[in-house]
Chains A and B, each alone.
Chain A
Amino acid sequence: MTWLLKLYPRPWRRRYGDEVAAIVAEQPFSIALVIDLIAGALDVWLHPDVTMAAATTSAAGHNAKTTGGRMLTQVLRLDCAAGFSKRELWLSTIATIGGTILLTLAWMWLHLRIGDNPYTDSFSVLAFILPMLLGMRFTYLKDKPFSVYIAFVVTMSALVAAVLAMAAWISSLL
Chain B
Amino acid sequence: MRKQDEELDDFGRFAEPALMVLISLAEAPKHGYAMTDDIERISGVRFGPGTLYGAITRLESRGLIERLESDDRRNPYRLTGLGARALRARLASLQAVARVGQRRLASA
Contacts and interface: CB of A to CB of B under 8 A. Distances in A.
A32 interface: yes
Contact of B50 (A18, A40, A53, A55): A40
B48 A33 contact: yes
B57 A36 contact: no
Interface string A57-92: 000000000000000000000000000000000000
Interface in B3-28: none
A24 B49 contact: yes
Interface string A121-156: 000000000000000000000000000000000000
Contacts, number: 70
Contacts of A18: 73-74
Interface of A, secondary structure class, is: helix
B48 A43 contact: no
Interface residues of B, number: 20
Interface in B60-106: 60-61, 67, 73-75
Given A22-B74, A38-B50, A54 B60 contact: yes
Contact of B67 (A33, A50, A54): A54
Contact of A23 (B49, B54, B60, B67): B49
Interface string A25-39: 011000011001111
A36 B48 contact: yes
Nearest to B76: A19
A22 B32 CA distance: 9
A52 interface: yes
B51 A36 contact: yes
Given A19-B75, A22-B74, A39 B57 contact: no
Interface of B: 31-33, 36, 48-54, 56-58, 60-61, 67, 73-75
7 contacts: A22-B73, A23-B32, A51-B57, A53-B57, A53-B61, A54-B60, A55-B57
Interface of A: 12, 16, 18-24, 26-27, 32-33, 36-41, 43-44, 49-55
Given A19-B73, A23-B33, A43-B54, 7 more contacts: A16-B56, A19-B32, A19-B53, A37-B50, A41-B50, A44-B57, A53-B61
